[in-house]
Structure 1
Amino acid sequence: MIKMTRLSSYKNALKLGIGIFSFGLVISFITALSVNNQNNTIITQSLETVTEQVANNIIDRIVLYQYGLRGARGVIYTVGEDNISRDFFKKYSLTRDFESEFPGARGFGYIRRVPANDEASFVAKAKLDDWPDFSVRQLTPHDDERYVIDYIEPVDRNLAAVGLDISSEQNRKNAAQQAYLTGETRLTGPITLVQATGHPLQAFLILMPIYRTGLTPATPALREQQAFGWSYAPLVANEVFEQINLSRKTTKLLVNDVTDAQNNVMFYETHIDEVNPLTSFVVTLDREIFGRKWQVTLVAYPEFVSSLHLISPNIVFSYGAIVSLLLGGLIGFYGYDLGRKRIILEDNERRANILEHSLDAIISFDCDGIITSWNDGAVTMFGYEKHEVIGLEKTTFIVPDDGYYAENERFNQVVNGKSLLNFVSQYKRKDNVLLSTSMTSLAIYNEFGKIIGVSQTIRDITAQQNAEKQILDINASLERKVTERTQALQQALSENKTLLDNINQQLLYSETDKDGVILMVNDNFCLTSGFTRE
């Protein structure tokens, strides 16, 4: 019966331990799944931020070129369509530093509208205008009005373009007509420049209409009547985007022209020869630019994900499984009651919650330490709303009193170009509660490589440190209870032995066979009867 009771007790304890371990595995799996989902959200949000920055850089660069077009248009309009000369346009170009003012542009030029009937007289005049070999060339023969590239500077790297009739190719023609009909700057779709045939469908023309009236006429009919040409610039995607350093080691960039839904053209791609695998994290943004619709896509490499320093779901699950195994084994071995089981399970859930990832606080500063952006994670972490902190210095409200000097020193290091990664420190909330944090601080650069501010990512690790302390306390408590119970058991065994010895000394005890012959007696029997055992 005792053996059966012990076996039953062991089985019950084993079942209890297995039950706790299984439950812990489920909690660990759910927690790891939650961390994985949160990681995916953070990765996507970070990739969206980078994609937004890249898309803005691309659009800003293309918009920059219209200022060069305005300058060329102003010169042509001022001199007049009949008086402008190649020599005058070249002298104007020498007053501009195109490479520094408009990096990536192959040059700026003038396209003239020439009626088909006037082509011969136009060519004769162009030959006399310091270009004896001038001729009109067409990509596809046609009998309509000519849109002839008359001048372009610098001409050395654009020789093949001089005399080209851009209306002989429908893509170019459509953009030119849309420009003078709307009075706005227009881009062609992806084309192959005659002066850069090594980049098929990776180039554009950007065109700005020039009217005899100076100002843009009120109606499309008047605009078509008064337009006599365009100032323009040929652009090659690789040359334009190379100047703004869009190639990042951690992401792959794809830029597509999706103006025509039936003819999606990819005209720029980074990491063409890269063999490393891509992740499944992709962000795509659409942007309107001078009559075209571009699609900017960023795909993350594994290095992008690792650079975010996120908690690994596998580590979370492994830690959870180890904790579950320890709890299940200890609870099953010592046979804790249901109440103790519930307490440990709740404690396990609390530790699992501590492992759950929360959104980081992302704060941006200018070079003087003034806060310029404050995300929702910072609101949650520190308790300050955005309108309370924008324009303030960080050290005035979230840095502990004894940390001002060290914080300023770290900030100055980052402003000077030194990155600060996973630095453990303390910050205080609005209610003056101190938080243990891991902080990464990086410099913010503009498109010219100049540091214009600092970005800090702050992660609250207070919960993690508290969880580690709780686990140590529980292990210490369990070890102490094991010691106490072992001592109590040894004391009970000693008392039982003493009691049995006392009883043996007070009773007369003998054993006989069926004939009454004495087989065994105790010491007290011999003492009382006076006989020895022999």
Structure 2
Amino acid sequence: MDRADKPSSPSLWPRLVPRGGHLLAFAVLLASLLLVWMAWSSARTREMRAAEQQFASFSDEVTEVVLQRLVQYELLTRGGVSLFASVARPTPRQWQSYVEAMGVPERYPSVLGLGFAGYVPNARLPALQLEWRDSGYGLLSVRPRGVRPAYGPVLYLEPRRPENVASIGYDMYSEPRRHAAMESALLTGRARLTAPVQLVQDGPIPRTSLLLYLPIYRAGDQPRTPEARRESMQGWIYAPFHAAEMIDMLIAPRLASRHARLRIVDVTDGGEQLLYDGGEHDGTPAFKRSFTRAVYGRTWRFDFASAPVDQAVPGLHALTGILGLGLVAALLLYGVAFALARTGDRARAIAGRLTEEYRRSELRFRAAMQYSAIGKALLDSRECIVDVNPAFAAMFGRSPDALIGLPFESLFELREGESLLRDDGEGVWRAMRRFQRPDGGVRHVHLTYSPVPGTVGQDVAGLLQLEDVTERLLAEARVHALNRTLEARVALRTRELMRANQELESFAYSVSHDLRAPLRAIDGFSRILAERYADRLDEAGQGYLTRVRRAAARMGELIDAMLQLSRLSRSALKVETVDLSRTVAEVIEDLQVAEPVRRVEAVIEPGLEVAGDATLLRNLLQNLIANAWKFTRDRDPARIEFGLTAAGEYFVRDNGAGFPQEYVDKLFRPFQRLHTEEHFAGHGIGLATVRRIVERHGGTIRAEGAVGEGATFYFTLPGPTEL
């Protein structure tokens, strides 16, 4: 800070401290402020404590309402247990009558139904399916497919809505979260809740849902040990429901009336899984309360947050008014006396400060004019130059004295009748202009004119600023010329690519027509030779002839594969939503039908959908699954997996022969093989086709493997709404 910026007035401390008759007023002010503050603070503390106790009672009441509703759900499932106690296994009609009598849809809107899932060891599954079919219930298809020690398929689920019917046969025991609750209910004999799951009835719509399971043991059995319970296990009565809808229906009006917020989080497994988040969310809450409750084998945390202070503690409004009145009264008494003593000093201080600010403003303006790199000139009311800075004079190649007094418009090249200065109603205007320097050089400038207030001086009416943009304009012209050159090169390269594509199409035509004629001749004459002269050829000659015909046939197959690969890049994509999980299941089912003796364990993640060409994507999956099927023929049992990684990559994994990782680059090249024809037949074109299909859909593909440990192919595809 320079001397001009340092305050020249005396110290402020003597003026701030009361003197003489003001000392008593200052003491009264301090005492009154202290008393008002103490009274207000005590009353505020009482109000806050009372409001906090009310909030604690409210949170306990809301929690109890939620837990009581779960108790009602347990009683609902226990009614189903009673039905099984009276009937060994109720028929679907008896189960439907029971659920209708309970009035589940009307009494519990958030419950999707009441169902029964049987406990079926692996050895009893065929007998159950046969019993189910003989009873006239139709084919019981347990899904997801696969061999497991035990199953928990849905057998009954009422009311009979389409989405409930679609879940019949779903093996809940195979899904980890459902399995954990079902296993705990089996071993303890008590009702158990699942962690948040995605219900089969909801389809792909993400919703927070729970299932309450209650075990059923054979009639008359009262097993006391976990082993005895498993031996006597018959199944589970379960009730699926939407947690958020159930809780919101119970407590939303209560939360709204108190402007409160509630979050319910499942913290059983150490992590946090949100079950419900409702109520008011705006502002900083006055109170917070968090506690946990054991809920049917799970641990729930209830996080309550009250409304902001002004809503949670309404009594503070009256206290704030009283505090304000007390402060105003105390300050008003002191302010009247003290203001009179301060008025004279303030007037003198303001006058001195304004004078100093005016002087500093003048110095800053002059410094900005003198050292600015932009040309600046001051104009009078007749549009003549009053003053210029060095940058302005250097721009025109003249001295500052030679420019003063000249009409501003005389410096530029103007057409007849044209004027630079114009009034557009706002005073400030901008324009691009050119002028010629005394040395003959032509310059282009960006001109900005703005009016100057009259307080600067009566002889100054406007400020003119010039920025030399000659080099920028020349650079832009060079860029435009370069762009035109690049466009010409792009057009040339495009024509070359089109010509190359035409040559490739001609080559494909030649392969499909010209090369087939010699192959047909070789195959035909060799067949005639084998038919007519077989008796004249020895065993070696007949072997050679067979190898010739086999080689000709393989050549024809390679030509077909090469043509198929070339067509992949020319056909138009027909984009639609494709269910990859279902397609993989169909491909594996076809392969299993073709080779029924093979034992293959297929693990398919359900509900994986993408947007793409259905025909090409089926071709892609056929090649990958057939590849895994082929290379796992020496494994018993073989295992093929299909799913989606956390990074968003689809994968096909097998436990087959594998391949050396250092040769991974050869996998996706046409006609490149890592295994001999005698061990694993093929044309070497399948993985090249897979790569071409993935790239046509804008994705990528890679592979990982090890000899004797299987292989995994990872690929990416757009989601259902990305193409």
Question: What is the TM-score of this pair, normalised by structure 1?
Answer: 0.54
**Are 2:72 and 1:67 aligned?**
no
Alignment check: 8 A CA contact 1:257 1:295 kept: yes
Aligned-residue sequence identity (percent) comes to 25
| CA positional deviation for 1:11 | 5.0
Whichever residue aligns with residue 69 of structure 1, its letter is: T
Aligned equivalents of 2:205, 2:262: Cα separation in 1: 18
In structure 1, the partner of 2:157 is: 152
Whichever residue aligns with residue 29 of structure 2, its letter is: F
Choose which of 257, 268, 291 in structure 1 pairs with 2:266: 257
Structure 1 residues 301 and 141, CA, compared in 2 at 3 Å: closer, same or farther? farther
Alignment check: 8 A CA contact 1:17 1:330 kept: no
Please show how residues 436-451 of structure 1 align to structure 2 within 5 Å: none
The secondary structure found in structure 2 opposite 1:158 is helix
Query: 1:351-388, CA deviations, whole angstroms, 9 ceiling, x for partnerless residues?
Result: xxxxxxxxxxxxxxxxxxxxxxxxxxxxxxxxxxxxxx
Please show how residues 259-278 of structure 1 align to structure 2 within 5 Å: 259-261=268-270, 263-271=271-279, 276-278=282-284
Alignment check: 8 A CA contact 1:286 1:294 kept: yes
Aligned equivalents of 1:134, 1:281: Cα separation in 2: 55
Please show how residues 67-86 of structure 1 align to structure 2 within 5 Å: 67-81=75-89, 84-86=90-92
In structure 2, the partner of 1:176 is: 182
Query: 1:169-216, CA deviations, whole angstroms, 9 ceiling, x for partnerless residues?
Result: 111111111112111111111111111246636111101111115464
Structure 1 residues 129 and 237, CA, compared in 2 at 3 Å: closer, same or farther? farther
Please show how residues 199-278 of structure 1 align to structure 2 within 5 Å: 200=206, 202-214=208-220, 216-247=222-253, 248-249=255-256, 250-261=259-270, 263-271=271-279, 276-278=282-284
Alignment check: 8 A CA contact 2:290 2:303 kept: yes
| CA positional deviation for 1:71 | 1.1
Alignment check: 8 A CA contact 1:282 1:297 kept: yes
For structure 2, the residue ranges without an aligned partner over 5 or more in a row are 1-17, 339-723
Whichever residue aligns with residue 160 of structure 1, its letter is: A
Alignment check: 8 A CA contact 2:260 2:305 kept: yes
**Are 2:195 and 1:186 aligned?**
no
For structure 1, the residue ranges without an aligned partner over 5 or more in a row are 1-9, 333-534
| CA positional deviation for 1:270 | 1.7
| CA positional deviation for 1:303 | 8.6
Aligned equivalents of 1:201, 1:258: Cα separation in 2: 18
Alignment check: 8 A CA contact 1:209 1:230 kept: yes
Aligned equivalents of 1:113, 1:181: Cα separation in 2: 13
| CA positional deviation for 1:330 | 11
Structure 1 residues 216 and 258, CA, compared in 2 at 3 Å: closer, same or farther? farther
The secondary structure found in structure 1 opposite 2:250 is coil
Please show how residues 277-316 of structure 1 align to structure 2 within 5 Å: 277-302=283-308, 305=311, 308-311=314-317, 314-316=320-322
Structure 1 residues 42 and 79, CA, compared in 2 at 3 Å: closer, same or farther? same
| CA positional deviation for 1:260 | 1.6
**Are 2:33 and 1:25 aligned?**
yes
| CA positional deviation for 1:308 | 3.7
Aligned equivalents of 2:210, 2:151: Cα separation in 1: 19
Choose which of 43, 53, 59 in structure 2 pairs with 1:45: 53
Alignment check: 8 A CA contact 1:17 1:329 kept: no
Structure 1 residues 301 and 80, CA, compared in 2 at 3 Å: closer, same or farther? same
In structure 2, the partner of 1:408 is: none
| CA positional deviation for 1:103 | 4.3
In structure 1, the partner of 2:453 is: none
| CA positional deviation for 1:159 | 2.3
Aligned-residue RMSD, C-alpha: 3.0
Query: 1:236-288, CA deviations, whole angstroms, 9 ceiling, x for partnerless residues?
Result: 11332243243532122211111122x210121225xx774342532223221
| CA positional deviation for 1:325 | 4.0
Structure 1 residues 214 and 107, CA, compared in 2 at 3 Å: closer, same or farther? farther
Alignment check: 8 A CA contact 1:159 1:195 kept: no
The secondary structure found in structure 2 opposite 1:184 is coil
| CA positional deviation for 1:165 | 0.9
Choose which of 84, 88, 93 in structure 2 pairs with 1:87: 93
Structure 1 residues 94 and 130, CA, compared in 2 at 3 Å: closer, same or farther? farther
The secondary structure found in structure 2 opposite 1:253 is strand
Whichever residue aligns with residue 25 of structure 2, its letter is: G
Please show how residues 311-326 of structure 1 align to structure 2 within 5 Å: 311=317, 314-325=320-331
Aligned equivalents of 1:95, 1:305: Cα separation in 2: 46
Please show how residues 83-162 of structure 1 align to structure 2 within 5 Å: 84-138=90-144, 141=146, 143-156=148-161, 157-162=163-168
Aligned equivalents of 1:253, 1:133: Cα separation in 2: 46
In structure 1, the partner of 2:423 is: none
Aligned equivalents of 2:191, 2:214: Cα separation in 1: 5
Aligned equivalents of 1:118, 1:304: Cα separation in 2: 66
The secondary structure found in structure 2 opposite 1:231 is strand
| CA positional deviation for 1:142 | 5.5
Aligned equivalents of 1:56, 1:212: Cα separation in 2: 34
Query: 1:135-178, CA deviations, whole angstroms, 9 ceiling, x for partnerless residues?
Result: 1113x856221011110111214223211111111111111111
Alignment check: 8 A CA contact 1:209 1:227 kept: yes
Aligned equivalents of 1:304, 1:77: Cα separation in 2: 57
Alignment check: 8 A CA contact 1:136 1:164 kept: yes
Aligned equivalents of 1:20, 1:104: Cα separation in 2: 66
Structure 1 residues 307 and 75, CA, compared in 2 at 3 Å: closer, same or farther? same
Alignment check: 8 A CA contact 2:266 2:301 kept: yes
Alignment check: 8 A CA contact 2:116 2:236 kept: yes
Aligned equivalents of 2:313, 2:171: Cα separation in 1: 51
Structure 1 residues 211 and 306, CA, compared in 2 at 3 Å: closer, same or farther? closer
In structure 2, the partner of 1:442 is: none
| CA positional deviation for 1:39 | 3.8
Structure 1 residues 41 and 94, CA, compared in 2 at 3 Å: closer, same or farther? same
Structure 1 residues 288 and 132, CA, compared in 2 at 3 Å: closer, same or farther? same
Please show how residues 391-470 of structure 1 align to structure 2 within 5 Å: none
Whichever residue aligns with residue 143 of structure 1, its letter is: R
Higher relative contact order structure (alpha carbons within 8 Å, sequence separation ≥ 6): 1
Structure 1 residues 123 and 306, CA, compared in 2 at 3 Å: closer, same or farther? same
The secondary structure found in structure 2 opposite 1:277 is coil
Question: What is the TM-score of this pair, normalised by structure 2?
Answer: 0.41
Alignment check: 8 A CA contact 1:35 1:311 kept: no
Query: 1:438-485, CA deviations, whole angstroms, 9 ceiling, x for partnerless residues?
Result: xxxxxxxxxxxxxxxxxxxxxxxxxxxxxxxxxxxxxxxxxxxxxxxx
Structure 1 residues 224 and 36, CA, compared in 2 at 3 Å: closer, same or farther? same
Alignment check: 8 A CA contact 2:100 2:159 kept: no
Alignment check: 8 A CA contact 1:32 1:313 kept: yes
The secondary structure found in structure 2 opposite 1:195 is helix
Structure 1 residues 301 and 78, CA, compared in 2 at 3 Å: closer, same or farther? same
Alignment check: 8 A CA contact 2:221 2:232 kept: no
Structure number with bigger Rg:
2
Aligned equivalents of 1:15, 1:23: Cα separation in 2: 13
Query: 1:474-518, CA deviations, whole angstroms, 9 ceiling, x for partnerless residues?
Result: xxxxxxxxxxxxxxxxxxxxxxxxxxxxxxxxxxxxxxxxxxxxx
